[in-house]
Structure 1
Amino acid sequence: DGSLRDALSLLDQAIVYGAGRVQTDEVASMLGGVTHHSLKALIEALAAGDASLVMHEAMRLVDNAADPSEILGGILGLLHRIALVQQLPDTAGQDDDREWILAQAQVMAPEDVQLFYQIGLMGRKDLPWAPDPGTGLEMVLLRMLAFRPVTGEMDHHSGDGPRAVRQAVSSPGSSASLEALPEKDDRPGETTASGTQDSPERVLESWSALVARMKLPGMARELAHHCVLERLEDDRCVLVLDQAFEHLLSERLQGRLGQALDECLHRSMRLEIKIGSVGHETPADLQQRQREEKLAQAEQAISEDETVKALIETFDAKVLPGTIKPVGDES
């Protein structure tokens, strides 16, 4: 709204600002508005998981006096069009944004688009409660980065964003492989007539695999997890229960373990359980070690991730001890 004289004055300023050319993006930049070019760059940075570029583009928009709520509104509008094209390709339209929309619909995973839209929608409502609009905008964008889903084969990006961290964290830690046991002849931990005996590592792997195959319920599984295999013969199995867990031993639980052993090995076994000092890792010890290795791997992946480094540097933040958990760890 305004007079023709005001409009001509703005036109003169736009001509000077654009060095003789009047273009929408340049006029919007001069007036402090939100340009489509900047919004597109911001969405591309989000899709790539590039936290540094996301913050750079957001700060550039805010520095140009753009309203954070308007910025989020523009992002939501573009995400809506991308989501539509992903499901209904004929809705791409014929405007200047058509090619870009089609390209992003191919590059971005639908899960990312939906998540970004939902976070942006809720974040726009929360802007009035932020310490200041700029901070509110930054937190909404960081939330989009932090909660991107792991999509496996749908992941079109190879950047070092949060998705790359999650894939690294979810990789299993180094551990002994638990071999599948033969049904009858090759028995784990068996002391043969010649006096040869499997190594403790081999016995541990075999017993852990056997326990996993038995699919024991509740307390019977706990009993097996705190035992080590001392001897396995044709019709006899001898276990040693860690003396710290002797309270687990009862006639009922030993009977359940023996029954599961019979079913797993397809023959009748006499199960003996002795209480004493175990000479090597029990399956429970092995699981604990594997959890610690996975946690160490997760902590290392977080500490080396470029997105996390950018957040720490930008906001003088820190990762609280004890807050990192490997993906898939339900404990």
Structure 2
Amino acid sequence: MSYQVLARKWRPRTFEDMVGQEHVLQALVHALEHQRLHHAYLFTGTRGVGKTTIGRLLARCLNCETGITANPCGECGSCKEILDGRFVDLIEIDAASRTGVDDMRELTDNVQYSPSRGRYKVYLIDEVHMLTNQSFNAFLKTLEEPPEHVKFLLATTDPQKLPVTVLSRCLQFNLKRMTPEHIVGHLQKVLAEEQIPFEDPALWLLARAADGSMRDALSLTDQAIAFGNQKLAASDVSTMLGTIDKQDIERIVDALVERDGPGLLAEINRISDFAPDYDVILADLLSLFHRVTMEQVVPGSADNAMGDAAQAQALARKLSAEDAQLFYQTALMGRKDLAITPDARMGFEMTLLRMLAFRPGADRRAPPAVSSSGNESAGRTERAEPEPEPARAPSVAQQAPQPEPKPVVPEASASAAPQPALQPEPVPPQVMDDAPPWDPEPNEPGFATAPQEPVPAAVAEEPVTAVIEPEPMPDEAQQAEPEPQSVTEHTNESPNIELAPPVSEDGFVWERDYRSLDINGMPGNLASYSAMKRDGDTVVLTLEEGHARLLNERHEEKILAALRLRFGDATQLKVEEGEPGLHTPAAFEERQRVARLKAAVESIRKDPLVQNIVERFEGRVVEESIRPIETGRR
């Protein structure tokens, strides 16, 4: 006997065998039991959900020799002939191949004849939306008022294409997509009957690949049985489908949660050997982070649609709400990028690296430093004019330890050597927002790491840039001499800023030393707008009302953890609403910024080279263009 595929062998023979369409079956069973039968039924839904199967079952219910019943006997001649596909009064029409108006006229002509074998003549028209407008017009009158011995059963995957005149003449039932739980449950039953050994993760992979279609799930199962040599292993199914299994997803997510950049790249490199569909992997991650968020917002709501409810619940406890949202949005944008990225793996890899690099609280580092060899310097671009340097330029260079000034194109920038500085107050290092979150090895070449000790708070030894514009010149002067402009990168000194901030017993100054606490993300931003005082073991933070409202329990826990690392485990935190005053970290940093800018402007004004350029070319310094270059960002 020839082999019969699972999708045909396990086609439901009764309403009880149907999986996942209870809302449709209940209505049909009640209609059959009370003999309230409509003359036209329309079944809609995606492929493989049971539209044609329900139509054939309904034909058996109407023509069973025991009478109209919701439970046909399956033993009478009519039932057997319908099961075998040879019942003369069940006319199945494929509208995709018989779309012409002549075919429809032939149908309407034959409708008038009484059934030859059964109680009803049943017309089962599949993909009815494929009929032409002329065919529909020829069919409308018969569809509205058919003979009493005729029932029309229409099936379509695209009901939007049907004319409203057809929809209004039918009793419509929308069949749902099969959930992964329904598919897995049915596959377990089928494989147990077929005596095929299987692994549960393999069935979940098949259920997700079927995308709501039970027929597709059974067809994929047939393929997987052949691929795995009469058994279903998750690794074999994953290889066959070009996807990765649940354990691979878990390893990727664990690397993200643990901020393990090298481990994440190693996992991506490992799964790339299987040539997976990266879009499917991102879709699985999206589904997981969606259920994680559901569990965080409404505990206990995470379903087992992907077979990983336990993992979703565990992640909901480990991840913050901000992290879950970041991962979800990044994966969502990454799926869009896959369509335009030059290489699918590259796009997938960049998506996961974004999750690490921009995760709140991730450690940052400076970008690779530019080599000091050669004549180039960061932030400076020069282009020499064809004219030679004037003869008096060397004397200008002797007044300041600078290279010889060269004429440059307008609005370019250059730099000057730094000058010694006074001993300023320390400020925290600048945090970079565009670097990967894992730190290099201590002696890793080619990388400039953020300083471990606080850098000076005042503006000493910070280079600045400025633009020098020429003053308007008479026509004769413009003809006699070109109008070169120059800019300079300059180090400047500024005096320390005398403040009177509160100082704790151990010398800790809140506004100055706040960044050393390493409070990142939203908690760090909110705390930077607060004033601090200590009352024994209690740290009291004073915040204005607007910022205090944004500070939730999770934020306070992160702030308290940082304070305990600095002041001891007995430290407690108290947040009060009020006026924080001037001694907040945010205000302190703004004062430092203003002071650096002021010192930079004064330094540019007094620079001998700048004065010489202004005097020689009758230019002026555009003070609005002066910007001190932040240390560590060059």
Specify the TM-score bucket, using the shorter chain as the normaliser.
0.3 to 0.5
Higher percent of residues as strand? 2
Higher percent of residues as helix? 1
Which one scores higher on RCO, CA 8 angstroms, separation ≥ 6? 1
